[in-house]
Structure 1
């Protein structure tokens, strides 16, 4: 891990190719919190692809409008949700409608990390191959 950041909404752990976010119990994730994600993307992933993993350890709600702004982060290539409860899949189906990036739900954090790292690697390869022609 490169760094652990604390915000009003929760905690963000920054790694080489991704972030893991744990939201605080009972909050509503609102579009205003996206400004912090944008600042993180600019500070830690400038000109580099990265993935976002939300580890849903606590119960909270999400304003789906946040995904309109999240989708505009150009270097964000994957969005993973880690949750050990089944009702989350209904929520994630709704979230997929608002998000341009691939979104996948996992029961295990390790599987989410592997998936995100694979997508980031694929995007880097696509970009570097594209520049060769």
Structure 2
């Protein structure tokens, strides 16, 4: 698995934020997260801080951002903590997980999918996830007709 820093996309990052539990690479329409080895990623200790900072930096509640979890390290996510994310009215345009097909990370991504309310995809390659994120970012907005 390739880290963003080792990819050709790194040069396009607008900003890099480093936390003790992971590194976040901000792009125009998406964020790539790389959580560190053996972290149990949860709302209270990790996600709340990230969401608040990204909300301020992107100047909205996330509705225009695709979040890519690039799982270059082995870590766990508390999937039920997604409830906190939605309780505070945060949203995402899409959520992608980049992982290897075999192993715990793949099965964890399937479990997380049950808790998501928006576009979610699992990829085996960071490049495919970024392409998908850019496609979501460029989709024309659909408006309901009032007539």
TM-score by length of 2: 0.77
Aligned to 2:52: 39
Aligned to 2:136: 119
CA contact (8 A) 1:50 1:77 kept: yes
**Alpha-carbon distance in structure 1 between the residues aligned to 2:19 and 2:108:** 24
Give 4+ residue runs of structure 1 displaced > 4 Å after superposition: none
The structure 1 residue matched to 2:67, chosen from 25, 47, 52, is 52
2:76 maps to what in 1?
A: 61
**Secondary structure at the counterpart of residue 32 of structure 2:** strand
Q: What are the ranges of 5 or more consecutive residues in structure 2 without an aligned counterpart?
A: 1-12
**1:33-84 deviation per Cα after TM superposition (whole angstroms, max 9, x unaligned):** 221232233222224601000110111111112222334413x110001112
Structure-1 residue corresponding to 2:23: 11
Q: Is the 8 A contact 1:70 1:99 kept in 2?
A: no
CA RMSD of aligned residues (A): 2.2
Contact 1:31 1:66 in 2 (8 A): yes
TM-score normalised by L of structure 1: 0.84
Q: CA offset at residue 31 of structure 1?
A: 1.1
Kept in 2, the 8 Å contact 1:34–1:69? The answer is no
For the pair 1:28 / 2:40, whether they are aligned, the reply is yes
Change over 3 Å in CA distance of 1:56–1:4 after alignment to 2: same
